[in-house]
């Protein structure tokens, strides 16, 4: 994975592109808008290439991996899973076979519709938003009704929600 500073520089380039894109399309349509749009895209791709990313996809993949690594390095599992015994989802949930470290390595957690660790966050956004920004020492359940509790052991160094 490219280094963190290159990803952060790439995020700034993408953010600048997004602002320019909004400005371009806030004006009435005019002849040449397609060329102006292509120029913006080309400039973004050139900047990302200069940072070592072969494509938009490779940049966003690296950025997502940095988000995951940042979040996972900020959290520690502090209680064991009860395997959802006695709960409505008993037997349908395979997340109990995984720990935080394993969740960070797997792209998908099949028992949750193949969404993976970040998918769980996005499946339960209100649950996670109640704990954002992550504050040192906070503890909360992995997702609503889950017996697995996690603790914030350090505040994330970057915006792990950036997309």
Query: What are the DSSP calls for 10-68, one per residue?
Result: HHHHHHHHHHHHHHHHHSPP-TTHHHHHHHHHHHHHHHHHHTT-SSHHHHHHHHHHHHH
In a domain, 159, yes or no: no
**Residues 100 and 144 reside in one and the same domain:** yes
Lowest-confidence range among 23-27, 60-64, 158-162?
158-162
For 83-92, the pLDDT digits (tens) are 677 776 655 5
For 15-31, the pLDDT digits (tens) are 999 999 999 889 888 88
**Residues 49 and 81 reside in one and the same domain:** no
In a domain, 39, yes or no: yes
In a domain, 12, yes or no: yes
In a domain, 68, yes or no: no
Considering the entire predicted model, what is its pTM? 0.70
**Residues 50 and 98 reside in one and the same domain:** no
Closest CA relative to residue 94, chosen from 83, 105, 82, 108: 83
Give the model's confidence band at 60: pLDDT under 50 very low, under 70 low, under 90 confident, else very high. Answer: very high
In a domain, 37, yes or no: yes
Give the model's confidence band at 11: pLDDT under 50 very low, under 70 low, under 90 confident, else very high. Answer: very high
In a domain, 158, yes or no: no
In a domain, 66, yes or no: no
Q: By residue range, what is the domain housing residue 11?
A: 4-54
83-88 contacts at long range (C-beta below 8 A, 24 or more positions apart) = 84/147, 87/145
In a domain, 29, yes or no: yes
Laid out side by side, the sheet with 75-77 consists of 75-77, 149-152, 139-141
Domain count within the chain: 2
């Amino acid at each position: 994975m490219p280094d963190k500073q290159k990803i952060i520089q790439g995020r700034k380039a993408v953010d600048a592109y997004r602002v320019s894109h909004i400005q371009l399309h806030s004006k009435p349509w005019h002849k040449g808008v397609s060329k102006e749009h292509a120029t913006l895209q080309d400039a973004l791709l050139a900047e990302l290439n200069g940072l070592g990313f072969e494509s938009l996809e490779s940049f966003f993949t690296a950025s997502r991996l940095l988000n995951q690594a940042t979040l996972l390095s900020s959290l520690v599992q502090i209680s064991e899973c009860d395997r959802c015994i006695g709960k409505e989802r008993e037997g349908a949930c395979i997340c109990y076979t995984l720990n935080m470290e394993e969740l960070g390595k797997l792209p998908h957690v099949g028992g949750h519709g193949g969404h993976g660790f970040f998918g769980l966050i996005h499946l339960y956004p209100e649950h996670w938003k109640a704990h954002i920004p992550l504050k040192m020492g906070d503890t909360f359940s992995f997702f609503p009704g889950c017996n697995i509790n996690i603790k914030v052991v350090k505040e994330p160094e970057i915006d792990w929600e950036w997309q």
